Structure 1
Amino acid sequence: MLIIRVIRAISVRIKNKLHPPKSELEQLRDRGLKYGKNFEFYNSLIDQGHCWLVEIGDDVTITNSTILAHDASMKAYIGKSKIGKVKIGDRVFIGFNSVVLCNVTIGNDVIVAAGSIVTKSIPDNSIVAGNPARVIGKTSEYIEKHKANLAVKPVFETYWPNKTQEQIKLIQEELQYDFGYDE
């Protein structure tokens, strides 16, 4: 009995080395999720049951957020869930703890602020925030403002996992009363 368990455990290890388990993103792609190049997907959830209704463009970052292509709020009442496509354009950033609901298109060059709930489509070159998310500015103006700030605010060049304790202490001191920029 013990020998059989040991053999099974060894077989699983060999199988996993020869054919490592697929990542969550690979599984979603296999189920029909479409995404472009430079897609960064950090600790987020894309509707597994309807991922084939989600299309994500190039240079997109989604951080600790949820993308839903279905809404089951009516299932108990009418026996069906609402479903709809979710299309996310190119050069989009979806901030921490945001939710994008079904039947929404997010245009190109959009920033979704942290904690936003996107219930309606968002036009190109927009920054949105809130619940429900509303347009609060233009991405192009926001970029220009921050480019100008690079000349007057503290800028730190070392990527965060490579910072020394001395660098961290310096940053803490320099950011005592203001913000800066990091690699």
Structure 2
Amino acid sequence: MLNRIKSIYKRYFWTDEKYARSIGVKIGRGCKIATRYFGSEPYLIEIGNHVQITSDVRFSNHGAAWVLREKYPKIDFFGKIKIGNNVYIGNCSIILPGVSIGDNVIIGAGSVVTKSFPSNVIIGGNPAKVISDVKKFEETYLSYDLSTKGLDKKKKQDLLINLEEGRFIRK
């Protein structure tokens, strides 16, 4: 009963990062974690420094052995997941077993990452693939910079409401 109360306390009162560390996820410095979906083997996940993991991102360290269990009742296999430094993982992405992500990587929202990727790329899709590189991203989006980081909510809202249309990103 005491363990159940402790588990509930962790789930509702600890930050996502503190919770992740408590279940064995290795996390570097300066990270922002907004998910609690680290699978059944969270101790096989390593996250570098300055990584942002947004909401509903899911990690899976195993899977699919079920279809072989009638023939091999004890089969199980696992893959470590390693996320490099300075990585952004967009909402609802899924990171599958055995994946390594390099440094300076952007993973687009909703991506299903089924294989490893090198540093300095932008990936997205299902399955995820390289769609650009970070240098092109920097060159493109610097022209849209509004330097709103640190503004209070009201000032930011006023700026955005009164901003001319050409200053917004268009796809």
Q: Match for 2:110 among 110, 115, 133? A: 115
**Superposition CA RMSD, Å:** 2.7
Determine the structure 2 residue equivalent to 1:51: 42
Which residue in 1 is equivalent to 2:168?
Answer: 179
Gaps of 5+ in 2: none
2:31 paired residue number: 39
Give how far 1:81 is off: 3.9
How far residue 44 of structure 1 moved from its aligned partner, in angstroms, is 4.6
Aligned pairs, number = 155
1:63 matched to 2:58? The reply is: no
Q: Is the 8 A contact 2:58 2:94 kept in 1?
A: yes
Question: Is 1:140 the counterpart of 2:135 in the alignment?
Answer: yes
Q: Are the aligned partners of 2:16 and 2:33 in contact in 1 as well (CA < 8 Å)?
A: no
More displaced stretch, 29-38 vs 100-109: 29-38
Scaled by the length of structure 1, the TM-score of the pair is 0.72
Identity of aligned residues (%): 31
Q: Which has the larger radius of gyration?
A: 1
- Length-normalised TM-score, structure 2: 0.77
Q: Conserved in 2, the CA contact under 8 Å of 1:154 and 1:179?
A: no
CA-to-partner distance for each residue in 1:122-163, whole Å, 9 max, x for gaps? Answer: 11111001000000111122113222x0xxx47153647x32
- For residues 22 and 76 of structure 1, the distance between their equivalents in structure 2, rounded to whole angstroms, comes to 37
Given that 1:39 and 1:58 are in contact with CA atoms closer than 8 Å, whether structure 2 keeps it comes out as yes
* 8 A contact 1:127–1:136 mirrored in 2: yes
What's the CA shift for 1:69? Answer: 1.4
Structure 1: unaligned runs, 5 residues or longer: 1-11
Matches within 5 A, 1:10-159: 22-47=14-39, 49-64=40-55, 65-71=57-63, 73-75=64-66, 77-78=68-69, 79=73, 80-147=75-142, 149=143, 153=144, 155=146, 157=148, 159=150
Matches of 1:124 and 1:93 in 2, distance apart? 12
In the other structure, the counterpart of 1:5 is none
Q: Say whether the 8 Å CA contact 1:154–1:174 is kept in structure 2.
A: no
Superposed CA offset, 1:38-69 (max 9, x none): 1110145222x201110000010000111221
